[in-house]
Amino acid sequence: MTAKDSIASADLDVLLKQASDILARKQVKNKPVIAVWGMMNAGKSYLLNMLTQHYNAEFFPTNDVRETAKLRQFEGESYIFLDTPGLDANDADDQVAMDGAAKADVVLFVHQPQGELEKIELDFLKQLNETFGDHAEKNIVVVISKADAESLDKIEQIEQKVLEQCHLHLDFVPASFLISGARFHKGIQQHKDGLVKASHLQELKQHIETLGIDVRAVREERIRQAQNGLLLDIAAAEEALNDEKLQLEDDLYWNFASFNDAMLSLDLSMTLKRTEYLNERLRGE
Ligand SMILES: Nc1nc2c(ncn2[C@@H]2O[C@H](COP(=O)(O)OP(=O)(O)OP(=O)(O)O)[C@@H](O)[C@H]2O)c(=O)[nH]1
Ligand SMILES: [Mg+2]
């Protein structure tokens, strides 16, 4: 097997796996799946603990260093909450995060306010946007996390910039929320309504409810988008294979050209020799 063969069959394996993943997407549960998605350490798991009322014992483990490596879900009364590993341009973990996003009906894209969206975040958001098709605008929600870690001015500037980036790169401006899970946690534990209010977590919860997610419509659209994407990939792989075939035929032709030339001159000299021999024999008779 040549190197080219192995590349083509590896590509094909990936495409076949994607096809079977799409077919396996039929989900039994009809509760909307709300997934958090974003860079590592953005505060995704912390936010989910607050949204699922895990105030004392964490259901979704949090940490200052990379923590979530696998998908983890909690089934609440109305929703299923799904935690995903942080995106970090590490192929294996990012694939798990992509698989998680593929299962979601709503994605809370969590961005911590250290600046505007990074290129990698925008690239992931663009991919996500495509997979949601018509539902992207409503079902992708931006969460600027750790809002207590910066001044309100600074955070609002960052939010403004993030929304401009979305407008430019995704072609829509998503709903966005400035959330402080830490304030919410403190507010709940110390019974301080002011802190709970300032955390804006309730607003995010209400927003999710007002989305009125039509689980069937979102999933059908996402499967349709995934199938379209896969068909395009298969067409591209077919074209690449065809190019390889033409190149091989070309190589074969040129590699055999000198051999064919040699055979032709051998044939010619044999004919000459035979004629010489026959002439000599005739002369001798
Ligand atoms: N100040 C502040 N810190 C927060 C807040 N939310 C989360 N953190 C802290 O940020 C760190 C990362 O939080 P996680 O929830 O584990 O982040 P994650 O996005 O799940 O991280 P990975 O799973 O590794 O991708 C933890 O130390 C949290 O305590 C917040 O609202 N305010
Ligand atoms: Mg986490």
Residue 143 · residue 176 · CB < 8 Å: yes
69 CA distance to ligand 2 middle (Å):
8
End-to-end CA distance of the chain: 60
Residues with CB under 6 A from ligand 1: 40-46, 62-64, 66-68, 85-86, 145-146, 148-149, 180-182
Kindly state the average pLDDT of the residues 245-249. 91
Interval 57-81: pLDDT, tens: 999 999 988 777 899 999 999 999 9
- Mutation pick for ligand 1 pocket among 46, 83, 178 (CB with most ligand atoms within 8 Å): 46
Q: b vs e for 205-220, b when ≥16 Cβ sit within 10 Å of the residue's Cβ?
A: eebbeebebeeeebbe
Structure confidence at residue 117 (pLDDT): 96
CA-proximal residue: ligand 1, atom 32 (nearest): 146
Measure the CA–CA gap between 96 and 88, rounded to whole angstroms: 12
CA 48 to ligand 1: nearest atom: 15
> For residue 82, what are its two tokens?
């799904």
Closest-approaching ligand to the CA atom of 62: 1
Q: Which of 22-36, 208-222, 267-281 has the lowest mean pLDDT?
A: 22-36
> What pLDDT, in 10s, does the model give residues 135-192?
999 999 999 999 999 999 999 999 999 999 999 999 999 999 999 999 999 999 999 9
pTM of the model: 0.79
Ligand of minimum distance to the alpha carbon of 72: 2
Q: 45: CA distance to ligand 1 center in Å?
A: 7
Q: Which ligand is nearest to the Cα of residue 64, counting in written order?
A: 1
